[in-house]
Structure 1
Amino acid sequence: MRAGGYILFSLGLGACNSASVPRVNPAPVQVVGAEFGNVSLPVPDSGSTAALRRFLARHPLTEYVEYLDAPNFPNMAMQGFSGPENRRIEVLFEDLQPVAGSLNVWTLKGKTRYRENIQPITGQIVLNRMRRLAPRRPTEPNLETYQVSESDGEGLLGAFPPPPGFETVASYTIRGAFCWAQPRQPGNGYLYGLVDIDLAQCRNGRYMPQSVRFTEGAKGGNAKFEGVWTSYATGHTRRVVFVQDVLLYGTRVFQRFTLGQRMPEFNPQYARLGWSGYWSGEEWWANPVAASETKL
């Protein structure tokens, strides 16, 4: 596992339409589908529902939750890339609740920010597949020990081995779908797509949200929500990707995405796209929500 602290988070599912929250069988372990109104969610094409059911029976995801408002975490919102320019977009999960009777369906309430336009969201995440990932090849970067840096061409500096017992012995991805809706007003829309949550099985038996490869699963993001934003008014769509570890994932989006070693910051070259102030600690989600004027 990566040194320097582990940023864990709960994963919630919320309905795009509150009336569309699914009823589920109150069995102890139930892996169910969900309805999102008129939205047809993509279905993950790999992994096993049975494997996920067995895992959740023994390891509820809430066991791995660390609050998003942890005082040592400088930027609590999940960071994202929007559109062909990969402009910055952010999402914060404020209330995450499992649907009664199901371990794989969660409801959420939160906020998004795009170009200073802050909008509330409600939605769901449905997790329905799990698969074991192939081991990291010797030629691939070791994401367990990375430190983001401009010191080499890859933007990574492998420097800190994981603490004893936290060495990765196997890695998995939990896959599913999500749908988050903004209020129905001019300029707003809904987001939907696929989610990948990477879990590393440690030598001590614990499971930690941790990417180990750039080529599979969350691809360095620990958790990745990838899909599209769709305008209510026009049907216009735009690609969006949110990740939990933007400093690492971003090195595969932009060249020299970060500068610095001990406390890396976004490269000022990308400030025009909103990428600045990672360590500012700005609590933008506490700001009043205004009428939407900025389209994604």
Structure 2
Amino acid sequence: MVSSPAANSSAVATQTTPTAAASVATPTLSAEERKFFAEYDLSSLIAKEPDDHEVMNGFYGPDHYRIEFALLEVRRDPANPAHYFVKGKNRFKKAVTPFEGDILFTQLGGQTPLTKAPEYYPAKDGKEYLAEVNAVNAYSSLGTFTLREEASYKGAGVFKGEVLVDFAVGDGGEIRPYCRDDKQNTRGGYVVFDGTWTNSETKQQKPVLWVQNIFEYQQDILRNFLIGERDPDFNPKYAKLGWDTYWQNEEWWAEPGQLTVTEVETAHSSADVAADSSAGI
């Protein structure tokens, strides 16, 4: 799934190709991997940005109905830098349920270099494109996750499975979401959670998969999921599966009394207008 790091990815230059995720209880990280996780905190790649409407979206159950996840707090374990504590909420249809749990990264590798540029690039531009994208220090990290819904909520259960994160490390050490090839690893989703939900009482199980970047994710779950090229949108035939409300920007994850993103934006806009007015603009 994840290739050995490219030659320019010196931090883990001897890593081998990760396969299935290792046991949570007995991760087998190399010394180089442990050093990498100690140096780079991946929480910002996974957590929802507090000043943004965007949440993770995905597919739940046998009919692949839309489900949303807001990972509101992702905190690295001081005792194990490959381990992260997670808190958040999910929304399925109109039901909002809090959860908490953890992520344990078990493997790290570099993204495979591209060998072919997109067809719309002329030959010369294609070579330049390949040189540019392959020069990026691009990584993928594979791990396991367990997210337990709050037991007091009706039908609460446990999400469990594998998580994969694609990212790049800049020359200054900054990290950002990055997928070199949308046919590999997260396939453009940047962060992919893939697993099952198990009802805590009945033990009924349902498949679930959600991603950070639903518009770039090359999914094979729903046919013709997106339509349009310049400004893609969801296929109207999937409105019945919950995708007709995507653009509503409901801040369903906000706690009572908490300032929402919309309220913050409105306050900033009002302050700017007042400042312009006082300046005579």
CA contact (8 A) 1:265 1:276 kept: no
- Structure-2 residue corresponding to 1:174: 141
Give the C-alpha shift of residue 206 in structure 1. 4.9
User: Secondary structure in 2 aligned to 1:55?
Assistant: helix
- Structure-2 residue corresponding to 1:282: 250
Give the C-alpha shift of residue 124 in structure 1. 0.6
CA contact (8 A) 1:91 1:110 kept: yes
1:85 aligns with 2:79: no
- Structure-1 residue corresponding to 2:51: 70
Q: Which amino acid aligns with 2:56?
A: M
1:235 aligns with 2:239: no
1:43 aligns with 2:23: yes
CA contact (8 A) 1:200 1:212 kept: no
1:244 aligns with 2:190: no
1:201-240 maps to which residues of 2 (within 5 A)? 201=169, 206-240=174-208
Give the C-alpha shift of residue 76 in structure 1. 2.0
CA contact (8 A) 2:182 2:218 kept: no
User: Secondary structure in 2 aligned to 1:270?
Assistant: helix
Give the C-alpha shift of residue 111 in structure 1. 0.6
Give the C-alpha shift of residue 82 in structure 1. 1.1
Distance 1:255 1:43 in 2: 34
Q: Which amino acid aligns with 1:61?
A: L
1:100-115 maps to which residues of 2 (within 5 A)? 100-115=78-93
CA offset digits 1:125-175 (Å, max 9, x no partner) = 111210123223417789xx9xxxxxxxxxxxxxxx99xx88753422111
User: Would the alpha carbon gap of residues 196 and 254 (structure 1) be closer, same or farther in structure 2, given more than 3 Å must change?
Assistant: same
- Structure-2 residue corresponding to 1:255: 223
User: Would the alpha carbon gap of residues 210 and 60 (structure 1) be closer, same or farther in structure 2, given more than 3 Å must change?
Assistant: same
Q: Which amino acid aligns with 1:84?
A: P
Higher relative contact order (CA 8 A, sep 6+): 1
CA offset digits 1:198-224 (Å, max 9, x no partner) = 123557875422122234322221011
1:273 aligns with 2:254: no
Distance 1:269 1:103 in 2: 44
CA offset digits 1:253-279 (Å, max 9, x no partner) = 333322345543222110111112333
Q: Which has the higher helix share?
A: 2
Q: Which amino acid aligns with 1:52?
A: E
User: Secondary structure in 2 aligned to 1:68?
Assistant: coil
User: Would the alpha carbon gap of residues 227 and 268 (structure 1) be closer, same or farther in structure 2, given more than 3 Å must change?
Assistant: same
User: Would the alpha carbon gap of residues 269 and 126 (structure 1) be closer, same or farther in structure 2, given more than 3 Å must change?
Assistant: same
1:5-16 maps to which residues of 2 (within 5 A)? none
User: Secondary structure in 1 aligned to 2:238?
Assistant: helix
User: Would the alpha carbon gap of residues 140 and 48 (structure 1) be closer, same or farther in structure 2, given more than 3 Å must change?
Assistant: farther
1:94 aligns with 2:62: no
User: Secondary structure in 2 aligned to 1:53?
Assistant: helix
Distance 1:141 1:187 in 2: 48
Q: Which amino acid aligns with 1:171?
A: A
1:58 aligns with 2:39: yes
- Structure-2 residue corresponding to 1:36: none
Q: Which amino acid aligns with 2:167?
A: L
Larger radius of gyration: 2
User: Secondary structure in 2 aligned to 1:284?
Assistant: coil
CA contact (8 A) 2:113 2:134 kept: no
User: Would the alpha carbon gap of residues 274 and 116 (structure 1) be closer, same or farther in structure 2, given more than 3 Å must change?
Assistant: same
Give aligned pairs, total: 226
- Structure-1 residue corresponding to 2:261: none
TM-score with structure 1 setting the length: 0.65
- Structure-1 residue corresponding to 2:7: none
User: Secondary structure in 1 aligned to 2:38?
Assistant: helix
User: Would the alpha carbon gap of residues 261 and 181 (structure 1) be closer, same or farther in structure 2, given more than 3 Å must change?
Assistant: same
- Structure-2 residue corresponding to 1:138: 116
Distance 1:111 1:99 in 2: 20
Q: Name structure 1 gaps, 5 residues minimum.
A: 1-40, 146-160, 289-296
